């Protein structure tokens, strides 16, 4: 599928270092769409989505200040596969549309990056031309997360891993892999990909 500009996804498990890789691409002038932070913005600012979430999950979906009530919603959907599906069905199309609007605003760029943690799980990779998986071994990721999020325990981190697609599967499905394992330098890997993407574009 040839679009006006090449659309490349970038994904990886929690603690793999996707954001750092995205920042390197950004310093090269590549526009990066952060799907996870945009989704957080959309649930707070999209009036139709707000109405749908309240209709489906009750007025407690938003707190007294009118902000999306993450704690309440997490309790609602935790361990309830059906409710997770309903929530995703409401949010994902809005984020998808937001991404399309963003790609038009950046139509002049040779290629664009879309960063998302659950790219394969949500099916959003299907609308992209190529996908990069950022890989780091589990022990490295656990240490990084413990350092970054001291409020999380190792068991909680492993539970999050369990809800994400296995790393082997992510690598198998990816077109490109960046190894961010504290052993290999990442900048040369990104520069190599940047050159390839400019040629593809």
* Res. 13: pLDDT tops 70: yes
Nearest one of 147, 145, 88 to 116, comparing CA atoms: 88
* Strand 130-135, strand 32-34: pairing: unpaired
DSSP the chain: ---SSEEEEEE--TTS-HHHHHHHHHHTT--EEEHHHHHHHHHHH-HHHHHHHHHHH-GGGB-TTS-B-HHHHHHHHTT-HHHHHHHHHHHHHHHHHHHHHHHHHTTTSSEEEEE-TTHHHHTGGGGSSEEEEEE--HHHHHHHHHHH-TTS-HHHHHHHHHHSPPHHHHHHH-SEEEE-SSSS-HHHHHHHHHHHHHHH-
Q: Which two tokens stand for residue 74?
A: 């997490």
Supply the pLDDT for residue 1. Answer: 40
**Region of poorest pLDDT, from 38-42, 165-169, 191-195:** 165-169
* pLDDT for res 45: 95
Q: Return the CATH class of domain 1-31+110-201.
A: alpha beta
pTM equals 0.86
Evaluated on CA atoms 72, 115, 24, 136, the torsion sign reads: positive
Per-residue pLDDT at 26: 97
Mean pLDDT for the stretch of residues 12-30: 95
Q: pLDDT averaged over the chain?
A: 92
Q: Where are the domains of the chain?
A: 1-31+110-201, 37-105
For the segment 60-96, what is each residue's pLDDT rounded down to a tens digit? Answer: 999 999 999 999 998 888 778 899 889 989 998 899 8
Average pLDDT on 37-41 reads 94
pLDDT band for position 193 (cuts 50, 70, 90):
very high
Residue 97 has a pLDDT of 92
Flag whether pLDDT at 2 surpasses 50: no
Rg (CA), the chain: 18
């Amino acid at each position: 599928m040839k679009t006006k500009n090449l659309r490349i996804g970038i994904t990886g498990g929690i603690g793999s270092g996707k954001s750092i890789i995205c920042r390197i691409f950004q310093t090269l002038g590549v526009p990066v769409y952060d799907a996870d932070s945009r989704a957080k913005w959309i649930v707070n600012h999209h009036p139709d989505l707000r109405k749908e979430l309240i209709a489906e999950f009750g007025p407690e979906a938003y707190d007294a200040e009118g902000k999306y009530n993450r704690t309440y919603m997490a309790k609602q959907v935790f361990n309830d596969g059906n409710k997770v599906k309903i929530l995703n069905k409401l949010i994902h199309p809005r984020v998808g549309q937001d991404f399309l609007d963003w790609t038009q605003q950046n139509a002049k760029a040779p290629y664009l990056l879309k960063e998302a943690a659950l790219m394969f799980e949500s099916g959003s990779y299907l609308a992209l031309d190529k996908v990069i998986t950022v890989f780091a071994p589990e022990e490295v990721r656990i240490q990084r997360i413990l350092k970054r999020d001291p409020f999380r325990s190792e068991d909680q981190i492993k539970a999050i891993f369990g809800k994400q697609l296995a790393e082997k599967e992510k690598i198998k499905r990816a077109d490109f892999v960046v190894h961010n394992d504290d052993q290999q330098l990442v900048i040369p890997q990104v520069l190599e990909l940047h050159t390839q993407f400019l040629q593809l574009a």
